[in-house]
Every structure is written in structure tokens, then in C-alpha cells.
Amino acid sequence: MPGVDLKRGVDPGLGEARDSATPNVIRHEESRLGWFLVLPVLIVVAVLVLYPLGFGFSMSLRSIIFGSGIPDHFVGLRNYQDVVTSSSTTAAAVHTAGYLIGALVLEVAAGLGIALLLNRSFKGRGLVFAVLILPWALPSVVSAILWQRLFAPNASGLLNSLLLDLHVISAPHVWLASTTSAIFLITLLHVWGVIPLTSLIFLSGLQSIPDDLLAASAVDGATPFRQFRHITLPLLRPALAVALTTGTVVALAIFDEIYVLNGAALNTRSVMMQVYLTTFQDLDFGHGTALAFLLTGVTTVFGIVYIRGLRRVEH
């Protein structure tokens, strides 16, 4: 068969774009423009993502401590071994797990609730959306500054003042000094910025459920609760996977809020804070990058688990 390029015969295809097997003018023109438009991005990704990734991995296998006078040398996986067994990593991991669990619970509950409330259209919904999105749009350090006076440790702190007035507490609390309350409050601040996104994810999930389906089940006599339980929830699984993945990625990297509210204090240090301190305070790049790569690995595993798990249950 003249003109058939067998190598191009099978192409899994991505999206709906069609491929062809004949090299020709149409394809040539498309191909040239395609590469022309994509090449800059490819260079950017190669130089600014892939190269540093490889460079970072090689750093994680070496002992690199600035100002220590010891020359760099290869240590294999020892950095990883060190950070895994270090007690400061364990503490940071426990704190991060706290942030993560708290954040996911609050984000899913609030996100789902808000999505359900805003699913039906009503007068002024656009305005509510504009307001809803605000906390997400603000830089997290700015949010932390806005919240700071709430958590002030003396009686003029707003939270203390409020709880004293309500006689919930008898003396002002130093909120950020105790691990539990500090982690809870920082989580609260963190989810303030993430819930808008979670809500939009659930909302687009809700809106992809055909109205007919709910109408049909209503005709069949399903109560609103049963409808929600047996139709809405199962169909929200994909949205849940996205919400959990997004929530996990940002929660595992939590840093800004802690930095502003409590600095490097031991009781609230996250893994990310530990990476920052190791790398840029101790200037121990080897251990710092090793910990960063471990965190990356954990993040990726979480993402895979959510997407796989939720897809499997669907079948």
C-alpha cells in the first residue's frame, strides 16, 4: 500500500483529536505549528522542572552542608534513613497528619454542604459566589494576618474575649501554645482558604447529575434523604476524589499559615516547615531534599490511592 506509514498505524489517541496514517501536506503543516507552539513549554518544563528534579534527587543522595567545611560527598540513601528515623521528622509527621485529617474532614463536610445549598439557583446567587470565592483568592499569609487578632493570647484577643464573655473559659487561653488547640486553629485558618475550591468541585459534581435521574426517583417515591444517599452521593465519587486529592496536596504542603501564626515553634511544625528549616536554616541541603522527596512520594501515593479507590468502588 503506497503512502501508508506503518509505524504510525496505531496511536492510542488522546482526547478527541484524530490522527492519520498518511504523511502529507495537511499533517506537515499541523505538525510544524504544533511543535512551534509547544516547544517553549517543553523547554521550560525540561529546564525548570525536570532538570531540577534530577538535580534535587542527586542532592538528596549526597551530604551537602554549607559552611560546615566538609566537602560534598555521596552518601547513597543515608539521608533518607536519617530523616525517617529522626525524632523531629516523626513530630512533624504527626502534626502534618493532624492538619491533613482535620483539613479533609472540614473541607469535605463544608464543601459538600455549601455545594448542596448553592446547587439550586436563587436570587443573589452570583453575589454569594463572589463572596464565597474570596477566602480562596487571598494570599494565605494575608489571611493569617487577618485572623491573627482572633488568636491573640491575652484577654483582648477576640476569641478569648468572646469565650470569656460567654463564660466558656475563665481565664485567657494561649491558643497557639498548646499543640492541640494550635493545630486545630491553624487547620481552621487553612481550610478557610481551601473550602471555596472544595465547594466548587462538589458543585460541578452535583451539576453533572442529570435532573431526570432525581425526578425519576422522586416519582418512584424516594424521600429526599434516600435520594441523596442512593443517587447523589454515589455519583459524587469522582468529585470526592478530586476534592480529596486537591485537599491532600495543599494540606501536606502546609507552611504559610504556620510561619505567620507560630513561626518555627516546635509544637506546630509541619513536614514542610521541617524541610524549610533543615534546608535553609541549617543549610543541610542533603537531608532537606531527602525529606522533600519523601513528602513528594507520600503526596503522590495519596493521590493514586484516592483516584484508584474511588474508581474501583464505582464499578
Partner 1 sequence: MAGITLEAVTKIFPGTTVAAVEDLDLTIEDGEFVVLVGPSGSGKTTALRMIAGLEEMTHGRIRVGDRTIGNSPPRTRDMAMVFQNYALYPHMTVRDNMGFGLKMKRVSKQQRNERVERVAAMLDMSELLGRKPKELSGGQRQRVAMGRAIVREPAAFLMDEPLSNLDAKLRVQMRAEIANLQRRVSTTTIYVTHDQTEAMTMGDRVAVLHQGKLLQVDSPQELYRRPSNLFVASFIGSPAMNSMPAEVERCGEGISLRLAGQSLTLPRDSMARFPHLSVQPGAEVVVGIRPEDMQDPSFESRGDAGQTLEMRVERTEMLGAEIIAYMCLCEPDLKGRRAHAEATRPLGAEQHQDRNDLPAIFTARLDPRSVFKRNQIVKVSVAVDRIYLFDPATGRSLG
Partner 2 sequence: MTSRLGRLLRGAGILAILAWSLGPILIGVLTSISTQAEVQATPAVWIPKSISWDGYRALVDSHAGAGLPGGTETAAFGRAMLNSGLVTLESTAVILVLSVFSGYAFSRLRFRGRIVVLAVILATLTIPVFALVAPLFRMMAGLRLIDTQLGLVLIYLSAEAPLAIWLFYNYSREMPREPEEAALMDGCTRLGAFVRVVLPQMGSGIAALTAILLLATWGQFLIPLLFAPTLNSKPVTVLITEFVGKYTTNYPLLAAAGVLAMLPPAVVAIFLNRHIRGMLSGWSG
Nearer to partner 1, 3 or 40 (CB): 3
Q: How far is CA 224 from the centre of its chain?
A: 32
Contacts of 130 (CB under 8 A, 6+ apart): none
C-alpha–C-alpha distance, residues 53 and 225, integer Å: 49
- The yes or no reply on residue 1 touching partner 1 (CB under 8 A) is yes
- The yes or no reply on residue 249 touching partner 2 (CB under 8 A) is yes
- Scanning residues 27 to 56, which ones bind partner 1 (CB under 8 A)? 27, 29
End-to-end CA distance of the chain: 43
- Residues touching partner 1, count (CB under 8 A): 20
C-alpha–C-alpha distance, residues 251 and 93, integer Å: 12
Q: How far is the CB of 13 from partner 1 (least distance, A)?
A: 6
C-alpha–C-alpha distance, residues 259 and 275, integer Å: 13
Among 61, 194, 251, 272, indicate the residue that binds partner 2 (CB under 8 A).
272
Nearer to partner 1, 9 or 40 (CB): 9
Stretch that binds partner 1, among 24-32, 42-50, 143-151, 221-229 (CB under 8 A): 24-32
Contacts of 196 (CB under 8 A, 6+ apart): 132, 133, 134, 135, 136
41: partner contacted, choices partner 1, partner 2, none (Cβ within 5-8 A by kind): partner 2
- The yes or no reply on residue 25 touching partner 1 (CB under 8 A) is yes
C-alpha–C-alpha distance, residues 32 and 22, integer Å: 16
- The yes or no reply on residue 9 touching partner 1 (CB under 8 A) is yes
- The yes or no reply on residue 300 touching partner 1 (CB under 8 A) is no
Q: What is the DSSP string of 34-73?
A: HHHHHHHHHHHHIIIIIHHHHHHHHHHTEE-BTTS-PPPE
C-alpha–C-alpha distance, residues 181 and 160, integer Å: 13
Which stretches of the chain are DSSP H helices?
Answer: 25-45, 51-60, 78-85, 87-119, 125-137, 140-148, 158-165, 179-207, 211-219, 224-227, 233-235, 237-252, 256-262, 271-276, 285-314
Stretch that binds partner 2, among 78-86, 98-106, 209-217, 298-306 (CB under 8 A): 298-306
Among 7, 14, 16, 19, indicate the residue that binds partner 1 (CB under 8 A).
19
1: partner contacted, choices partner 1, partner 2, none (Cβ within 5-8 A by kind): partner 1
- The yes or no reply on residue 255 touching partner 2 (CB under 8 A) is yes
Nearer to partner 1, 28 or 149 (CB): 28
- Scanning residues 167 to 186, which ones bind partner 2 (CB under 8 A)? none
Nearer to partner 1, 21 or 133 (CB): 21
- The yes or no reply on residue 134 touching partner 2 (CB under 8 A) is yes
Handedness of CA 244, 249, 252, 258 (dihedral sign): negative
Residues 275, 293, 136: CA angle, nearest 5 degrees: 65
- The yes or no reply on residue 30 touching partner 2 (CB under 8 A) is yes
How many CA atoms does the CB half-sphere of 68 hold within 13 Å? 14
Q: How far is the CB of 6 from partner 2 (least distance, A)?
A: 14
Among 99, 111, 182, 256, indicate the residue that binds partner 2 (CB under 8 A).
256
184: partner contacted, choices partner 2, partner 1, none (Cβ within 5-8 A by kind): none
Which residues contact partner 1 (rule: CB under 8 A)?
1-4, 8-13, 18-22, 24-27, 29
